[in-house]
Amino acid sequence: MNILHYLPSFRLTRGGPVRAVLDLADGFSRRGHRVTLLTCERGDAPAHWTGEHPDLPRVVEIGGQGIANGPVASVHRPVMRREVEACDLLHVHGVWNYSNVQMARMARRAGKPYLISLRGMLDDWSMEQKWLKKRIFHALIYKRLLEKAAAVHCTAQAELDQSRKWFPRGRGVVIANLLDLNPFRSPPGPDKAREAFPALRAGRPNILFLSRLHYKKGVEILIQAVRILRDTGLDCTLLLAGAGDPAYAERMKELVGELQLDDRIHFLGHVGGELKISLYQAADLFALPTSQENFGFVFPEALASGTPIITTKGVDIWGELQSGGACSIVDRTPEAFASEIRAILVDRERFARMRAAAKPFVFAEYDENRLLDAFEGLCRECVARHA
């Protein structure tokens, strides 16, 4: 098959969808399919994906790198049409960018099937953000495109349950994100992170947050939880790894200072590559009090590193995570997170059971070959149904 993916930007700082598309493209190429990534901003797409090697994806960058949610300019549309007409299936990622609408319409005009991955953008929490603009856009434009799609892809049943009402006559399917687990099969070990971040050597239990610094992620909840733990006699170190909104990050640093937690809470900035895996390994617990995640690569990554996690029902895969025995789901409050952190750290037998369950669960639940089979079958079915 000739699969065309469209995503406006491939900057990894834009979150999980970028990682999901890159891993999926790589997996399909390894199975002999021709894969093209069409984008306005190449960003972090591998430099050697040039199209010169038949076994690697090809990246086509059109103009308009400054695009936010608007359309691609007319001067660049011939490239979009050429790629759409050459593909067997168009895979569009996300909902609210108008260039996604342009791509789906081009596919319909060219007689090509298109698949839309929602990426959590129709979840209840997401739909409450700028709700009026989204409802108008959905009613006028996107509802029809969703219902005309060959399939609407969700990464969890909980995501489909929340989203289905926005495309009642459409076809929804559930397949978890493909995750490249190879780096976690031979991890670097925790010493690399301990050497890079002295805070890990303070002799306290280490709690890791690794995500964007954004209000929906609940950083302030973890900061307050650390204060509660300190005031009730359990000292721990909180490591906040990630970049994000500068104004929000500054407010969080001010909060840490106000609560006199500077010696216990550390802002590490963006951490990637082997150092990120080492950081997972060096942590005792991974905690993320998020409002909404349709998948969240950080959760299987933490578990693949043997680190138990604490999160909320804001994660669409919370049921799957909880079933593995290495994840605790709590209310999105400082008190709930403080209580569960204490309960796990104090109960050493429970802590050991969670650590032991983490890796086996991830490598079974997110087996790459099984997920590639599912995606491959979905794409073939979309093409066949359209024909």
pLDDT for 64: 58
Residue 371, sorted as left (phi over 0), alpha (psi -120 to 50) or beta, turns out to be alpha
Q: How far is CA 38 from CA 84, 100, 376, 385, in A?
A: 10, 11, 20, 24
Comparison of pLDDT for 54 and 369, the residue scoring more: 369
Contact 260, 229 (CB under 8 A): no
Asked whether residue 66 carries a pLDDT value surpassing 50, the answer given is no
173-213: pLDDT as tens digits? 999 999 989 999 999 999 999 999 999 999 999 999 999 99
291-308: pLDDT as tens digits? 999 899 999 999 999 999
Q: pTM of whole model > 0.85?
A: yes
Q: What is the CA radius of gyration of the chain?
A: 21
For residue 142, what is the DSSP state?
A: I
pLDDT for 139: 94
67 pLDDT band (50/70/90 cuts)?
low
Exposed / middle / buried, residue 374 (Cβ in 10 Å: 0-12, 13-18, 19+): middle
Owner of token pair 């040039």: 50
The Cα–Cα gap between 359 and 132 comes to 43
Q: What does the pLDDT average to over 217-239?
A: 96
The Cα–Cα gap between 316 and 157 comes to 8
330-347: pLDDT as tens digits? 999 999 999 999 999 999
Asked whether residue 55 carries a pLDDT value surpassing 50, the answer given is yes
pLDDT for 69: 61
Q: What is the dihedral of CA 208, 213, 214, 220, to 10 degrees?
A: 60
pLDDT for 77: 86
At residue 240, φ and ψ (nearest 5 deg) are: -105, 100
The Cα–Cα gap between 326 and 321 comes to 7
Q: How far is CA 316 from CA 111, 157, 289, 361, 364, in A?
A: 34, 8, 13, 17, 19
Contact 108, 114 (CB under 8 A): yes
- β-strand pairing of 58-61 with 89-93: unpaired
b/e code 34-56 from CB counts within 10 Å (16+ = b): bbbbbbbbbbbbeeebeeeeeeb
Domain segments of the chain as ranges: 2-179+367-386, 182-365
pLDDT for 76: 81
Q: What does the pLDDT average to over 102-131?
A: 94
Q: What does the pLDDT average to over 155-180?
A: 95
How many Cβ atoms are within 10 Å of 313's Cβ, its own excluded?
14
Q: CATH topology for 2-179+367-386?
A: Rossmann fold (3.40.50)
73 pLDDT band (50/70/90 cuts)?
confident
pLDDT for 65: 52
Architecture of domain 182-365: 3-Layer(aba) Sandwich (3.40)
Q: What is the dihedral of CA 187, 188, 193, 194, to 10 degrees?
A: 110
Percent of the chain as helix, strand, coil, to the nearest 5:
50, 15, 35
The Cα–Cα gap between 153 and 54 comes to 27
| Same-fold call for 2-179+367-386 versus 182-365 | yes
Residues 6 or more apart in contact with residue 371 via CB below 8 angstroms = 175, 176, 177, 178, 179
How many Cβ atoms are within 10 Å of 376's Cβ, its own excluded?
16
Proportion of the chain above pLDDT 90, given as a percent: 85
8-49: pLDDT as tens digits? 989 887 778 898 999 999 999 999 999 999 998 888 899 999
